[in-house]
């Protein structure tokens, strides 16, 4: 299709990070990085045993800090830098910062970020790669014991959803990369984009459960398929 796209939205999931060596933390048996979800990823768990929850994310942080972006992330960088006169935004379900490491711009982490802490007293969010403990003090309001990983726990509202809705309603090209198409509301983003006239493409190792919503299916490792797609788009 020889068309210049003005508003591109790229949705990314665990599959794009897997090619950088990061596990897809939520497994089929409901475990979150080998821990029961209800023990480490709910607000009830945090209220019940905040130190245990902090230790879980403290252990995860070094792995995500060390991870390096792969060719799929770098293809997005190339697209943002070379595809002129277009707004290109990324909605990611991932809590890692591989997009940022690759130089990607306009990244919206709807599930939060592993390198951020939020104070439940004053609401300030600050970055850290260091260990966090349940009795730590907020550097803004100096309240102790109310710091929480800035990760969206199950049952909490996703972040940036007003912005996400606007981007989806106004995009003319929607790319879904490495996401299962199972978890809502992200699994429904393609439908919003499609109903508003966007071209819709999915990049995955296999067709997803919501594949019928996509006009195009590109199967294979995103580190190979996405760079090829970007190169073709830049030619046009």
The residues assigned a catalytic role are 111
Pairing of strands 173-177, 7-12: parallel
Residues 6+ apart with CB under 8 A from 56: 33, 35, 40
CA distance 99 to 92: 9
Residues 6+ apart with CB under 8 A from 20: 67, 68, 69, 70, 73, 96, 98
Pairing of strands 216-219, 112-119: unpaired
* Nearest of 179, 158, 126 to residue 11 by alpha carbon: 179
Dihedral sign from CA coordinates of 20, 220, 73, 132 = negative
Residue 193's Cα: distance from chain center in Å?
18
């Amino acid at each position: 299709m020889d068309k210049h796209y003005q508003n591109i939205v790229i949705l990314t999931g665990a599959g794009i990070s897997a090619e950088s060596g990061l596990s897809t933390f939520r497994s089929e048996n409901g475990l979150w990085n080998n821990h029961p979800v209800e023990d480490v990823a709910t607000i009830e768990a945090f209220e019940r045993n905040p130190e245990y929850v902090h230790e879980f994310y403290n252990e995860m942080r070094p792995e995500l800090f060390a991870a390096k972006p792969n060719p799929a992330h770098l293809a997005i960088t190339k697209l943002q830098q070379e595809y002129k006169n277009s707004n290109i935004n990324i909605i990611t379900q991932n809590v890692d910062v591989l997009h940022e490491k690759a130089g990607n711009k306009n990244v919206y982490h709807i599930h939060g970020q592993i390198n951020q802490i939020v104070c439940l007293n004053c609401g300030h969010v600050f970055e850290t790669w260091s260990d966090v403990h349940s009795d730590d003090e907020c550097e803004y309001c100096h309240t102790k014991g109310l710091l929480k990983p800035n990760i969206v726990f199950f049952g909490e509202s996703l972040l940036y959803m007003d912005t996400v809705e606007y981007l989806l309603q106004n995009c003319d090209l929607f790319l879904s990369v490495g996401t299962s198409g199972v978890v809502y509301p992200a699994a429904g983003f393609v439908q919003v984009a499609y109903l508003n006239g966007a071209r819709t493409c999915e990049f995955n190792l296999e067709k997803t459960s919501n594949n019928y919503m996509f006009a195009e299916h590109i199967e294979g490792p995103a580190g190979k398929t996405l760079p090829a797609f970007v190169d073709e788009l830049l030619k046009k």
